[in-house]
Structures are given as structure tokens and as C-alpha cells.
Amino acid sequence: MKHFTQIKSAPQDLQDPQAGPFNGHKQIYFDHNGSTPCSPAVITAMQQYLDHGFGNPSSGHWASQPASEQLAMARSRVANLIGADASEIVLTSGGTEANNMAIKGVWVMAARKGAHFITSAVEHDAVLRVHRFLRSLGAQVTVLPVDRFGVLDPEDVVRAVRPETVLVSIMHANNETGTLQPIAQISDVLQDTDVLLHSDCAQSVGKILVDVRQLGVDMLSLAGHKFGAPNGIGALFIRRNVQIAPLLHGGGQEGGRRAGTESALLAAGLAEAAKQATLEISYNVRVLRDYFWQELATTFGTRVSLNGHPINRVPNTLSVCFPGQVGASILGQMPHVAATTGSACHAGCIDMSHVMLAMGASTEQGIGTIRFSLGKTNTMQEVDHVVGLLKVIID
């Protein structure tokens, strides 16, 4: 593990005597791909259900009606956000449950051990580990490679399809690099098959235009906390006439597709966040993201490189590599900056992320990676501050 010099004092306008453990530094949040803060409007929308929303949405009396109406509103606004119909939206606890529901639901409906699934090497663990579990039950799983930008070739999907193939599950935007996959093209090459297409869109919904009809997907997973809703709620789009087995059995909520008493409180937050999600916000974040990269490139030259596709990526994500450095050590020297690395530390050892490995990155590139993911609350001043800190640390 490398050691770095002490951070110099922050500029006066970014010092905050109330900041606590970070020696007066103002806290900076550059981890919006991890989770996003709730806006005041989202908090206000949820407040009434903390005060009065105690009714069970399924009870059918006066106390349950407001909660039931709020659930319907959440489905309607999510559907509007992704170009679907409200009847095609199933509320879940988040993206992980939605992914599990889609993939395992197809496995159960297939009702045969030899069923074949196709996915990619850069998927989130909430997809890769589900496939790994199904493989232990007898499923066949093909994990397709990506190029150096992290992009899958749709023709590889065609070549991987077999008579027993039941599902292709490919993410829309990568959580580490932001790279976008050609989902619409993958849908096109599957047109003459009976294979279903599922896409994990947790990192794209609310950041770019996502339309289920244009993408051509049969199922789509989203996570509310990635675009301004609270943690603990998400949704699965299931195209009309697509049948999958429920992951949870019980009271028959969500049209019998997802049992369990729904939360009107979380649904209120999801509904408001879906309402607020606009392309104008993404445009402003893109400008800040591109400014951040330009400042890094100007400051460090060949000592910094960009991970992922330079153009086809979501507008808020900036994954960069500082060759010869250790991303975790850099972030450890500026604890007031919330960002993540492209590697994981376990008992003193550094493991590269599976995404960087799949892209063919060297060990040096993998452990030198930092992901900055921006949001609408970030400022140019914060970018300047972080670039200044990085210069002190790396130089």
C-alpha cells in the first residue's frame, strides 16, 4: 500500500467549522450511483404518510384508501417515466429484488433444469449472483464478454442463443463506468426468437430517456434510490402478456405478482422522484461531468485515463484511473469526499472489480481507479476543490 503526503488546507470558501471529523472541510457527495439524496419535495410527499398513513392498502376501508391511491400514483408515475402502462409496473423493495424476481421468475416458469440464460461479464452482482445460484440448480448460463470500453456485441448474443435459451439479461448502464449497452439492438436480434429480454436499468432511469418500447425489453428493473427516492423501493416492469412466477408468495398484492404489504410511505417518495426526473437535470450534470474530466486531463495529462466508453455513457458518471496509484489510498486521504473505487480491499489485499477485469484492464489500472458520480446538487466549486486535492495527493 502506498503512502501519500498530507492534504493541504482547503480553500477558505470550502472550509466549514461545523464539518466535524474532516478538519473543517465541507463534505462533498460524489457517489450518486451509490444512492441519491431525497429532495425536499420527496421528503414533503412522504411526511403525510408518517403522520397519517397507517392504513393497510389492501384493507378496503377509509384508512386504507389513501395508501391504496398512493400506490396507484407511484405505479402511474413510474410507468410514465419509462413509457409503460401502470398495469405493467410491480413495486418492489429495490433493484435487487426486481432483478431476482425477473430472472428467477423465468427459471421457475421454464420448469426444466436445462433452461439456458445469457448475461454479460459486467453485470451488477444482483444479476451475476442470481445466475450463479440458478447454475447451482441446474440452469445453463452463458456469460458474454465485452470490449475494452465495456460494451457487449449484439452479435455475440445471437451466437449464444440456443433452442433451450429462455432469457437474456443485460444491464442498460454500468454502475462503475456508466457505459451504455446497445439494448435496442439486442432486442432487434432476438425478434425472431421466443427468448425474453430483461434489462437492469437501475443506473439509467432518471438520468437519460428510458422507454421500454424503444428499448424493446420484456422486463426492466429500476431502483428508486438511484434517482431521488428513498432506499427500499423500486419497481419491475413486466410487459403485458409476459408470464413469470412470483418470487414472494402470500397475500396476493401487486396483482398477485409480489406478495407483502406495500409501503405507502416509500411509494410516495418514489412517485415524487419519478415526477421530478427530467432530461434537463441530466444535461446540467453532463456539463459538470465533462468539466470535471477536462480539469483532470489538463492537470494530470497522461497520468490519468478514462474508464468506459468516452461518449455512450450516462451523463453523471466519471470513472478515471490514476496509473501507479491506489484509488482506495487516495480517497482515504480526503475522507470528506464521498466517492468509490474500482477495487475492493479485503484484509490488506486489493481485488480488482469484475467490471475492470472484464474490460481487460491491467492490475495497475484496476487498483488506480476512482468513480465520481455526480448529481444535480453538485457544483463547479466542488469539482475544483477535489481536483486541487488530487493534485496535492498525487504530486
Residue 31: other Cβ atoms inside 10 A: 17
How does pLDDT run across 192-240, given as a tens digit for each residue? 999 999 999 999 999 999 999 999 999 999 999 999 999 999 999 999 9
Q: Does the annotation count 38 as an active-site position?
A: no
Per-residue pLDDT, 216: 98
Is the model's pLDDT at 181 over the cut of 50? yes
Is the model's pLDDT at 11 over the cut of 50? no
Per-residue pLDDT, 2: 36
Q: Which of 60-64, 217-221, 334-338 has the lowest mean pLDDT?
A: 60-64
Q: In degrees rounded to 5, what are phi and psi of residue 338? A: -90, 105
Q: Which three cell numbers stand for residue 137?
A: 440448480
Is the model's pLDDT at 35 over the cut of 70? yes
Residue 349: other Cβ atoms inside 10 A: 9
β-pair type (337-338, 28-29): parallel
pLDDT grade, residue 177 (50/70/90)? very high
C-alpha separations of 57 from 53, 62, 86, 247, 260 in Å: 9, 10, 17, 20, 11
Q: Which three cell numbers stand for residue 189?
A: 436480434
pLDDT grade, residue 348 (50/70/90)? low
Per-residue pLDDT, 204: 97
Please give the full DSSP string across 30-98, using - where no structure is assigned: -BTTT--PPPHHHHHHHHHHHHS--S-TTS-STTTHHHHHHHHHHHHHHHHHHT--GGGEEEESSHHHH
Of 38, 80, 29, the C-alpha closest to 227 is: 38
* Mean pLDDT on 352-371: 94
Per-residue pLDDT, 112: 75
How does pLDDT run across 112-167, given as a tens digit for each residue? 778 999 999 999 999 999 999 999 999 999 999 999 999 999 999 999 999 999 99
pLDDT grade, residue 51 (50/70/90)? confident
The architecture of the domain spanning 12-30+278-394 is Alpha-Beta Complex (3.90)
Domain positions in the chain are 12-30+278-394, 40-276
Per-residue pLDDT, 288: 97
Point out the catalytic residue in the list 38, 201, 321, 345.
Answer: 345
What type of residue sits at position 238? Answer: I
CATH number for domain 40-276, candidates 3.40.640.10, 3.90.120.10, 3.30.70.140, 3.40.50.2000? 3.40.640.10
Is the model's pLDDT at 374 over the cut of 60? yes
Total residue length of the chain: 395
Q: What is the dihedral of CA 20, 21, 26, 31, to 10 degrees?
A: -130
